[in-house]
């Protein structure tokens, strides 16, 4: 039962890993300004876990935190400002009581869906490889629209997970963010394998 090869041991290890990663993420987020870098670090560790490397969670977390700090901070502020202006526009659209108001509200909701999709993809992209800030946002938009049903499934899974955690609030403290990041990177990585493999193949053809 307590053998390192047993199912019980592996389950206990995964529970410990996700709980530790979740608590670490929340603690590092406390200064608020560190939320973007902490999110990048969270996805960086999750990427390692998916690739089978579950060692040195603390070291990996702070390595990813430091390595992605500047870019994640700039990207985070850009996303935050877009979100603030988008919320203000949506609030103003509610004051238009006509067909124009319905059109503007619908358009803003579609933009909000794209906005959420970009947030879901931008941090996995950031830790997947080196991109300039411009390329990061461009690729986040492109990949979020590629196989869009996977993006929708990703959003639905996060919402379901959030609902479950609402029934048991302690799960937010120990599991929600690490599990949400794991699910997100796992789904997004399915796209990465297709998109970047296709780009690599095109580069090889062009080089001939």
- Listed by start position, the domains of the chain span 7-207
As a whole number of angstroms, the distance between CA 195 and CA 158 comes to 23
Q: Report the Cα 113 to chain-centroid distance in Å.
A: 14
pLDDT by residue (tens digit) across 15-62? 999 999 999 999 999 999 999 999 999 999 999 999 887 778 889 999
pLDDT by residue (tens digit) across 114-157? 999 999 999 999 998 878 999 999 999 999 999 999 999 999 99
pLDDT at 164 over 70: yes
- In sequence order, the 6+-apart residues with CB closer than 8 A to the CB of 95 are 101
pTM over 0.75: yes
Q: Report the Cα 142 to chain-centroid distance in Å.
A: 15
pLDDT by residue (tens digit) across 68-87? 999 999 999 999 999 999 99
As a whole number of angstroms, the distance between CA 191 and CA 93 comes to 35
Q: So what's the pLDDT on residue 102? A: 85
């Amino acid at each position: 039962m307590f053998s390192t090869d047993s199912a019980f041991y592996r389950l206990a290890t995964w529970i410990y890993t996700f709980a530790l990663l979740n608590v670490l993420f929340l603690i590092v987020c406390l200064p608020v300004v560190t939320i973007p870098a902490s999110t990048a670090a969270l996805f960086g560790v999750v990427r390692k876990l998916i690739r089978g490397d579950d060692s040195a969670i603390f070291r990996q977390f702070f390595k990813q935190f430091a390595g992605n700090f500047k870019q994640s901070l700039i990207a985070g502020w850009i996303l935050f400002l877009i979100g603030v202006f988008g919320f203000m526009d949506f609030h103003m659209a509610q004051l238009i009581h006509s067909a124009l108001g319905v059109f503007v509200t619908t358009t803003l909701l579609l933009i909000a869906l794209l906005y959420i999709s970009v947030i879901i993809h931008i941090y996995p992209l950031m830790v997947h490889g080196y991109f300039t800030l411009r390329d990061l946002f461009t690729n986040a938009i492109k990949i979020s629209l590629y196989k869009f049903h996977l993006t929708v499934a990703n959003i639905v899974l996060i919402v379901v997970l959030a609902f479950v955690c609402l029934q048991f609030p302690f799960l937010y403290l120990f599991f929600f963010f690490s599990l949400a990041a794991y699910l997100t990177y796992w789904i997004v990585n399915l796209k990465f394998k297709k998109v970047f493999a296709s780009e690599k193949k095109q580069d090889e053809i062009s080089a001939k």
